[in-house]
Structure 1
Amino acid sequence: MKKLRVVVLMHEDLIPPDSLDGYSEIEINEWKTEYDVVSALEELGHDVLKLGVRDELGPLRAAIDNFKPDIVFNLLEEFRGEAVYDLNVIAYLELRGVAYTGCGPRGLLLARDKSLSKQLLSYHRIRVPRFVVCRIGRKIRRPRGLDFPLIVKSLTEDSSMGISQASVVHDDATLAERVAFVHDRIKTDAIVEQFIDGRELYVSVLGNTRLTVLPVAELVFRRKPPDGILIATTAAKHDVAYQERWGVDVKRARGLPAEVEQKLARIGKRIYRILGLTGYGRIDFRLSREGEPYFLEANPNPEIARYEEFASAADAAGMTYEQLLERILRLGLQRTY
């Protein structure tokens, strides 16, 4: 691949240092994705500009005008404090005719709204948990047939934000409490879903039109927490001490029947296409005790730190981290709008 001028776009609070020297593991965990991507691109010989933004497009406009990038490597997950606003930044890049990595505005819009994506996929006869949306300021109404246990999440936030063991509820009183928590603390509408007891599986996909499905990964706990519910909480995803205490890891799924793995790959591709995802994405499932996969959510532009879920799946497919990043760059340059 020829050497490129690459703007790595990120939140301004997550601009990584040039070296890890002197930083604790907890500190590194805050910006490890940004550090891994920047350092790997530099090692590959690309001319890299680290660019942080928060609530205005001026710095991005200046970088495009002055640095004249071949492509923007998009690591931005929010804008003006809202996860759903990042798609507007990508739309701006499209208006400027600047190539970028990852998912486009339409895929970001469809995937970020867990209710919208589930309705769309249910129409296409893909199995999803039963659910209801609880809007801020509206009375909670649990429909007939939406039976406990249930799990309460933010409708639009990702990265397991706001999810804890208390998110799984078993009666109307705790349901109301947890919905109020999402409304008051996360400040988004809540989605209340049928809780699927079983395994949590991740299907990573690369591509724009021709798709590559990477080996299926699974969230595992080597030691069972005292509450006993094995779900992707905020702590399981981001708290290093919690991960070490309970042996939390995402590893290649073992013991899946061949037909189940093939089904997950086939459904993962369908979901990726239906939701208009491009570049790279991860589709999350719960596999029920009966062996049926239920779609949970789609993650456009998922975590791609070295050794995290997506990079580990690529490694299981024989792809180095550097090869993965170059593949993502190439897909961004090949995109047709």
Structure 2
Amino acid sequence: MYYKMTQPDFEELIEKAHGRFLNNHRLIVVANVVGKTPKRDQEQPDSDFFSPEEVEQITRSLAEAKIPYEILTSEMAFNRSVLDGNITKAHDIVWNLTRQGGPGNKKSLVTSLADFNHIPYIGSSVEAMSICRDKNSFERLIKPANASIPTYTISEPANFAGKRQIILKNASGSASIGLSDTSVHQLSAIEVNQQLEQSKGTKIAEQFIQGFEVEVPVFKVETSKARYFKALSPIGIKFGNIRLLNLKVLSESISDAYDYQFYSLFDELVNQTTLDAGLIESRLIHQACKIAEYLNLSNYARIDFRVTLNGDSYCFDIATTPYVIRHSSPVWGAKKLNLDQDELIAAILGTAD
């Protein structure tokens, strides 16, 4: 059984972070920043990077949390600091917030270098991050959590009667890239397979799930016996006042502009008299934590679902290092527990091994 994060859970993590960082450790934040980080791919959009204002939010939170830190704005700057002996495994912990790299994994270089040099870091391994960026891979692995979406690929083609609502997505990368409300189509199995063949492996097809879009931030906590995940109460995504999204998706344009808001799914479901809000909340928390375990995630993550009006839930994306800027579901969920952004960030640092 898995449980919700509570304020005491966060307070224990914060105390652990302070005990470590105020003693003899420093946090090395590596983040790609618009206007400061040289792009390795000039076609990469600015939305993949942090804005200067967003990085300032993080550094201000670290200062308020009294966490000693240094910020580096490129993977190469991190590499040089390691080679020059300015970053060491004895006294530094790395927080990798970079976004550059190939389509399969834009976050792997800093983590690879940290692994090679035995420097501890916050976040999941390169292998776990790569699996979570490959939608077909993680959909297979999370099947024991009963949260998989019917997914079709060139190697596993569609085979169903009639037509279904299908959404075509990039086979790897963030869930919102390239998506709009026109991305949902009524297609037959033959038409799905034709689209997949034309994409030459760059696309997958998912059965589109009508319902609520939900994010569940998870955090690894520790007891005297074990380390395991707990989750915040599921957080819904809404556009304007629309909560039951039906044919709408969190499109690339809406995501990049942060043109969406958050709400408590539990509070919303309480008003749906045909649903057991507590049961659905518990199931989502259980599924999110099990998914984090199945994929061997570390420290903190965010598991994204579509939830139907029947209460069925389907995982469609996993963020191994989710944003904790002011406009983010982890920060919103922490505020519901009377925790500020700096306290949330300190708690995340407290999950370090």
Matches within 5 A, 1:72-91: 72-79=94-101, 81-91=102-112
Q: Where does 1:1-337 land on structure 2 (aligned, <5 Å)? A: 1=18, 2-3=21-22, 4-11=25-32, 13=34, 15=36, 30-53=51-74, 57=76, 59-64=77-82, 65-68=85-88, 70-79=92-101, 81-122=102-143, 124=144, 126-134=146-154, 142-144=158-160, 147-158=163-174, 160-171=176-187, 183=199, 189-207=202-220, 209-223=227-241, 229-240=247-258, 243=259, 248-253=260-265, 254-256=267-269, 257-332=277-352, 335=353
Paired letter, 2:135: K
| Structure 2: gaps (5+ residues) | 1-17, 38-46, 222-226, 270-276
TM-score if structure 1 supplies the norm length?
0.79
| Distance in structure 1 (CA, Å) of the matches to 2:28 and 2:149 | 39
Distance 2:162 2:106 in 1: 31
Note the C-alpha offset of 1:91.
2.5
RMSD: 3.1
What's the TM-score, normalizing by structure 2?
0.75
User: Alignment length, in residue pairs?
Assistant: 303
For 2:29 and 2:349, locate their aligned partners in 1 and report how far apart those are by CA, in whole Å: 11
Residue 230 of structure 1 and its aligned partner are, at CA, apart by: 2.5
Percent of residue pairs bearing the same amino acid type: 19
Superposition deviation, residue 284 in structure 1: 0.8
Q: 8 Å contact 1:12–1:52 — kept in the other structure?
A: yes
Query: CA separation in 1, counterparts of 2:215 and 2:348?
Result: 19
Greater relative contact order, per chain length (Cα 8 Å cut-off, separation 6+): 2
Contact 2:165 2:185 in 1 (8 A): yes
Contact 1:214 1:317 in 2 (8 A): no
Separation of aligned partners in 1, 2:233 and 2:52: 26
Contact 2:158 2:192 in 1 (8 A): no
The answer (yes or no) to whether the contact 1:133–1:189 under 8 Å persists in 2 is no
d(CA) in 2 for partners of 1:159, 1:170:
20
Partners in 2 of 1:165 and 1:179 — Cα distance?
A: 20
Q: Does the aligned pair in 2 maintain the 1:9–1:76 contact within 8 Å? A: yes
Is the 1:134–1:189 contact (alpha carbons within 8 Å) kept by the matching residues of 2?
Answer: no
C-alpha distance in 1 between matches for 2:172 and 2:305 = 17
Q: In structure 2, do the counterparts of structure 1 residues 166 and 46 end up closer, same or farther at CA, with 3 Å as the change threshold?
A: same
Helix, strand or coil at the partner of 1:286 = strand
